[in-house]
Structure 1
Amino acid sequence: MNVKPMVTDGRRSVRLASVATVTLLAGLLSGSGSAAEEGGAAVAVDYDCALPGRTGRVTVGVTTDFPESGTAGTPLESGPVTVDVRLSRADVEALVPTGTEVVASTATLDVEVGQKDRSATARWTNLAAPNSEVPADGDMSLVHTGAVPSVTLPAEGDATFTAGRLTVELRAVTDGGREAAPDSGMRVTCEPGADTDRELATVPVSHDAPDPRPSRTAGTDGPADPAAKTGDGIAVEPGKALAAGEDPCPVEPPEGTADWGDAPKPPDGDPVLEVDIPGGGTFGCAYAVGLANVYKLNGALIVNDPAKNPGLISVLANVHRGQRAANAKGGYYLRLDSLGNLDLPDADSTFLTFGFQPVSAKVEFENGPLTISTGNIGMGAEKKYFATASFTQSLRMHDVKVNGTPLDVGPDCRTEKPFKVVLNGDFPKYVNVFGGGPMNGTVDIPAFSGCGTGGEDLDNLFTAAISGPGNVIAMNQGMTCVPSDSSTFCPPTMPTLPGQEPPVR
């Protein structure tokens, strides 16, 4: 999972004074992208689900940000969705093997889109709940999140979105390894209850310009809607299903050597047996998106923006194992190390400084091999889980523009040395690399060098405005797709940006 604090430079003119340049840098870094908008209100829908041996009533909370209005012929985009499926502990125990502590699940929700006499079904697929802890008692909440397809309405008029069939697939998750075999869980199919309100939203759709043709009313000749042609229908963005023969992981396997030096150490005692796992690990790919704050400037920027053709992380899962027996001095210790590659696209950024001055830039991220270490220390009630991701990174800035005018910072404006990024996940939100989940940490951005051309040295300006400790990173890794195992989550799921998870009430 890549964490890349975005850093940029800007000036009003080539001769701008140093203090003004620092101010522009501050404006660039503390502009838009610092916080996600609040999600929409949750809608509770009662479902009748085919549970083991019976049909049970299950309450599902559906939350997403539908736009306030739309335009005919233009894709109507909804925000990330949350589908919160609440099951009793007894139902969960009937769906997964006895003793399961953590489950991973995916959900698919069919949403019926209607406008006047038109209708279509938008299938919200690959909604992922990576790791959910099975409670000791009471109900369990499986919170699935993900992106949804856009819908294009051909004419003006209210568009209604109504919840339809829901399917949920659960799988058990082992302590430090991957999800258990496909027979470790079940698929649950649910239909909306006959007495439940299924409407999720109503969105008014209009034309972007007045229609010069006279309107018609019901009972007159011609179509009731003058903006629609006979046969026009509601268009739903194609789903994420793979075409025949399509590669779900179009990335090369990572290269390098796992470095578990930043993972938690075992208690003092007998040595840990370090072993390369035969087979060289399991190849897969995943998306990871997030936010990076710059402490000095109180600003946050999007990392691997899911709305801008995000890059995939390639993974070799479980390439190495460190283990010590429970009866050895110091007690039990298990660590599974996975190797990843962070070849992600440059980031784009545009901000307004001084309230009106637009500044844009690109940032290239040069990353070393990623190591993700997961495991646990101790046994029984003393067992503690851990998840750590670490790699080195350098930042290079280029294509800086102030009010559309290029500002030449040179070809080698970068941090003067690589810096270490270490992120940590909490159990059960992050159990292993297969299930993914959120991870957080802080980075210390070093000084900059090589910035400026023609004898103009901008190094100190970048260093003063950006460099320093305490820069918070929040990342979210989606479930890992393993092409060799059709039972895993392929194609890879797109996780939600941290802070953009819609509230479920």
Structure 2
Amino acid sequence: MTGPRTAVRRTVRSRARGAAIAAFVVLAATVPAAAGASGTQKVDIDLPYVCLFPSGKHSATVRISAALPERVAVGEPIEPEDVTTTVDLPAPAVADLAALDAAGVRAASRLGVGITQGEAAAEATWRGDTEPTALPSTGPLTLTATGDVPSVTGQSTGELTMKAGVFALDLALTTADGGATDPATVTVDCTLADGAPDGGRLAAVLVGTDEDGGTDTPSGPPSRPPSGAPTASGTPGQPERDPADRQGRRAPKVAEPGPGGGTADRSAPTCKYDEKHPAGPMSLNAYITGYSNVNKLDGAALIPPFCTLITQGEPEFVFFPDGTGATITQSSTADLYYRQRLQTPPFEATFLTFDFTPTTATMVLEQTGPMTIDSHGTTDFMFTSTDTYVRAPLVLRVTSLKVNGTPLDVGKKCRTKTSLASPDPEPAKHPGDHLVLHGRGEQVTGEPATGYLLLSGGPLTGKVSIPAFTGCATAGGENLDRLLTASVSGPDNYVKQIQGQTCFVSADELNPDECTDDAQPRKVPVAER
């Protein structure tokens, strides 16, 4: 916030409208003309999986259903519809969850789908969410997840095949009184079992050829190629077909859909106020994403888009005695939000441990105390500059670990001993360990702001020390605290997070440039290094 709310929001909204118009023009130029689809095929298959639960490996059945076109034109997206993933968890797996004092569960599913066309290949992830479900006292449990999934666009003629691969469940657990278990989430990784029908094949779609072997050409007005690249002939909608196209060596394109009436990336989690986090008169929400370096592993972990719920404070102005300007101070608070919990969604990072062993960790960041956003700026009523400090006490929890592809049990309570810690410019005023991120924004009256502002977002950077780990142990009692501490913990790890445009959910009327129809942030930022 760099000035009176109305002035800043007017500038932000004008910029957002301009961006929306530009995006519409690009979209209109790249959407293929109507064509090609010939009939619908139904997918309905039961696949056997082997899943790793806290007590060990158990068999589980995953039923996948969807509707797909039988045939499309080259460059026409294949959009799976009515996708449902149903998982039957066996009784021993349900008992594992009950042992954590869980009485209810809500799951997010992730199905890896391998896509091949000739010699070309691509990967997609079909994601779904379940409704909150009570755990039975005994016996198995059935969870049904639904959700939009990525579209796939074939880049050459020939059959495009989809095949089920790895499967995972992120289980959010609640106790009988509605609180969170410890740990609050459990990630279950599953692999396709031997003997799966047709190797897990889901469907095949014919791209660009009819039954006689001829080329199927889109009808309607010509459109530019999906890549947006000009054709060699200069004729719109008629991309040059080189030998690689005909032999199927151009990888199919995978594109995530947008949620809830918005243009946001579907991979972003839900970001809405609810009964546990009700909106107030100054409520905002926003997505944040970015990278965090891990110096010891000479790599960076991508933290995918996560939600923050912000209660904006009123700005305070102190005018200079000579009337040439003023200082502006604003203090706001915020909470991480994922399925009614103060945490990020689970995210994965893969590094080369000891410079040669690929190690993949699934982690979450959990908020352990109040998160504050303090801004201080000066203005001469024409130019305004603002420095903002975000302070968040966060512990890093490791929920699962794979070393060279082999799962390594880390136990249920593997986490950093204390909060991540950054140098604080005002340690006496803000004691204790917490992450500190800084953003600076500037704005000339009547022009778009640059850098970071609370309302319009932007880059936030800082350095963080990762504390030692505790509670990390295998089922056999082997202590892994020292291994993780030696591999990961240490100071001066650079962090860069990008906050997107906020949605002012408390407005009398939602701004369509900022919010989707169901009051979620329309803008999902892209991570920057």
> TM-score, normalising length from structure 1?
0.47
| Higher RCO, 1 vs 2 (CA within 8 Å, ≥6 residues apart) | 1
The TM-score, its normalising length taken from structure 2, stands at: 0.45
